[in-house]
Structure 1
Amino acid sequence: MRRTREFDPEVPVPRSPWDEIVPGLWMGGHVWTDGAGGLRRAVVGDEFALVVSLYSVPGHGPGTGVEHRVAPIPDGPLAPAELDAVLDAAALTVRAVRAGRPTLVRCFAGYNRSGLVVAHALYVLTGRPASEIIALIRWRRSPWALHNGLFVRYLHAGLDAAHPSLTDRPR
């Protein structure tokens, strides 16, 4: 399996385990820093009805009875099967949000992979342009959210356009 996390010492660790981007849709990671600057594990209990993990570590939840979908993808160029996993995760997220189910989409830090899925889900939910969705995510989660330029290009092109054989997918 390809590596699913790249370490970048220039990027600060988030200051919260997760943040609400729009009502019912949260974006987060597996680590965060507390007010004193200490590194903390982001462990999910039963705060959400659905957790979509694009990076997963044992012991980070979610709790028993919470629907959990794991779809590991790299924080880099995505192969067709990985783009398919992103689209599937976004479609699951859209269905959950539309049904009023509190949903967390997470990756390692809660910046890029989770941002890609949340942004595509918001595109499906709202039809807003990628630039507005990216700005919203950065405002609600962190200015470091979606700092992966390739993922931003995917969003501006449209994930379906990034892999044309996926253009007829149901949403």
Structure 2
Amino acid sequence: MRTRQKDRDVPGPGAPWNEIRPGLWMGGHHWTDPAGELQPAIVTDEFDLVISLYTRSGHGPPATIEHRVAEIPDAALTAFQIDQVRLLALLAATATKTGRTTLVRCHAGYNRSGLVVAQTLIELGYEPRDAIQLIRQRRSPWALHNALFEEYLLTGLDIAHLLVGLES
């Protein structure tokens, strides 16, 4: 399954991860240093929970850290994949509410992680547009540049899940 969309016109993030709200972080497996060089983002013990929507060997976290993996594409999602996003967002919201530091990551930390983090913020009481705006402010203006993911959030994942399910 292809999980990485090529983003030739999108600059890489300037940090491995960014705090979106207290305890909730968004990031990727790679970032671009000040010299413009691509660097690996390797998780050690910075977080209590890591949710990965893309994985790569050697990028952590260690076995002592709770790690949930659900590889999803940076493209149209199936009803099952939308359901995974909803469940991971609930997990992240619960972890955040209970004071656990949580990282949600994908390849660059823009789209897939943005979808889960935005839904987490919605679960925590944010309006969808406010969640999207906060992510773009704290992570990057390029975050959630996948227009389909933004549509899923604005429509509501429950409705998106039903509509996508009708198509299959």
What's the offset of the Cα at 1:87? 0.9
Aligned residue for 1:142?
Answer: 140
| TM-score computed with the length of structure 1 as normaliser | 0.93
- Superposed, which structure 2 residues align to 1:159-170 within 5 Å? 159-164=157-162
The residue type paired with residue 150 of structure 2 is V
Q: How many residues are aligned here?
A: 163
Once the two structures are aligned, what percentage of the paired residues are identical?
A: 58
Q: Moved runs in structure 1, 4+ residues, more than 2 A? A: none
* Secondary structure class of the residue paired with 1:86: helix
Following the alignment from structure 1 to structure 2, what is the Cα–Cα distance between the partners of residues 46 and 15? Answer: 21
Following the alignment from structure 2 to structure 1, what is the Cα–Cα distance between the partners of residues 133 and 89? Answer: 18
Aligned residue for 1:169?
Answer: none
Cα pair 1:54 1:70 within 8 Å, conserved: yes
- Superposed, which structure 2 residues align to 1:32-111 within 5 Å? 32-111=31-110
What's the offset of the Cα at 1:35? 1.3
Following the alignment from structure 1 to structure 2, what is the Cα–Cα distance between the partners of residues 82 and 64? Answer: 25
Any gaps of 5 or more consecutive residues in structure 1?
Answer: 166-171
Aligned residue for 1:15?
Answer: 14
Following the alignment from structure 1 to structure 2, what is the Cα–Cα distance between the partners of residues 54 and 24? Answer: 19
Any gaps of 5 or more consecutive residues in structure 2?
Answer: 164-168
| TM-score computed with the length of structure 2 as normaliser | 0.95
* Secondary structure class of the residue paired with 2:103: strand
What's the offset of the Cα at 1:115? 0.3
The residue type paired with residue 36 of structure 2 is G
The residue type paired with residue 72 of structure 1 is E
The residue type paired with residue 33 of structure 2 is D
Q: CA RMSD in A?
A: 1.0
